[in-house]
Structure 1
């Protein structure tokens, strides 16, 4: 299914579905600028998340997204940019 918006709640849902909930509940609160590693998600979790986003939103993320999007805000910006291109 192709969708046109991607929110922090969408990201949190996909992280939980694919990689589980961090032990300390670190997805709660203001996490936009917190490193994924600081909230309990490693590069494998981000690969799984990117794969789920691609399937659910009908986009193909650049491989650089995983390496460069180290915070939820950066990941949201990358996905939003890809969605904008796909909608154009």
Structure 2
């Protein structure tokens, strides 16, 4: 792929998730799209080799994004919700 052509994906986030992304991007001093790209690339670096049967040490500690597993999502910490001044869903 040449440098002047980029693959793009448009993703819609709910308000709460977007506010969290903005807060993280501000903390890291990067634009939101750069932060989202870094998060996606991080998971691809784990999931791609795993999907090919090549188990990685990083995957031992993280078995996938919480958002892909309803059970894990329900068990995840909700402390960040208080930071946004909201009630738990």
TM-score under structure 1 length normalisation: 0.24
Computing the radius of gyration from Cα coordinates, the structure with the larger value is: 2
Higher RCO, 1 or 2 (CA under 8 Å, sep at least 6)?
A: 1
